[in-house]
């Protein structure tokens, strides 16, 4: 049950794109197409942004996109906006037990 590895922080200027990586193993990220991403603003509950690697729930802007290659998943935020500044967590289905979260990444909008 080792946590998935994410960079501690990424940053970008408004309008730029940033990508957050999420590295696991063949037992989690690489073994299933069930990676989800969550956005968490300070003092708030997490919010689902991406599920099933690349699908967006209703209401999530299309500048958020997800992908996966091998044991690494990625979240890209295009056209970065001030309100995107938050912590982001990846999560993967891992069989039994079912969930493993990433270490979290702080996105800073410069």
Partner 1 sequence: EVQLLESGGGLVQPGGSLRLSCAASGFTFSGYAMSWVRQAPGRGLDWVSSISGSGTSTYYADSVKGRFTVSRDNSRNTLYLQLNSLRAEDTALYYCAKDKGGCGSTNCYYGLDVWGQGTTVTVSS
CB of 15 to partner 1, least distance (A): 28
Task: Read off φ and ψ for residue 5, nearest 5 degrees.
Answer: -95, 125
- Toward partner 1, which CB reaches closer, 18 or 56? 56
DSSP string for residues in the chain: -PPBB--SEEEE-TT--EEEEEE--TTTGGG-S-EEEEEE-TTS--EEEEBTTTB--TTS-TTEEEEEETTEEEEEE-S--GGG-EEEEEEEE-SSS-EEEB--EEEEE-
Closest C-alpha among 78, 105, 107 to residue 22: 105
- Toward partner 1, which CB reaches closer, 48 or 108? 48
- Toward partner 1, which CB reaches closer, 1 or 13? 1
Residues that bind partner 1 (CB under 8 A): 1, 3, 34, 36, 38, 40, 45-48, 51-52, 57, 87, 89, 91, 93, 96-104
CB of 13 to partner 1, least distance (A): 26
- Toward partner 1, which CB reaches closer, 11 or 48? 48
CB of 55 to partner 1, least distance (A): 9
CB of 101 to partner 1, least distance (A): 5
């Amino acid at each position: 049950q080792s946590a998935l590895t994410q960079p501690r922080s990424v940053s970008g200027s408004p309008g730029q794109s940033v990508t957050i990586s999420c590295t696991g193993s063949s037992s989690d990220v690489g073994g299933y197409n069930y990676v989800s991403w969550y956005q968490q603003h300070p003092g708030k509950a997490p919010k689902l942004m991406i599920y099933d690697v690349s699908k967006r729930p209703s209401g999530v802007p299309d500048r958020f996109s997800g992908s996966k290659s091998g044991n690494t998943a990625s979240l890209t935020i295009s056209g970065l906006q001030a309100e995107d500044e938050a912590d982001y967590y990846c999560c993967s289905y891992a069989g039994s037990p079912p969930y493993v979260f990433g270490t979290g990444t702080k996105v800073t909008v410069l």
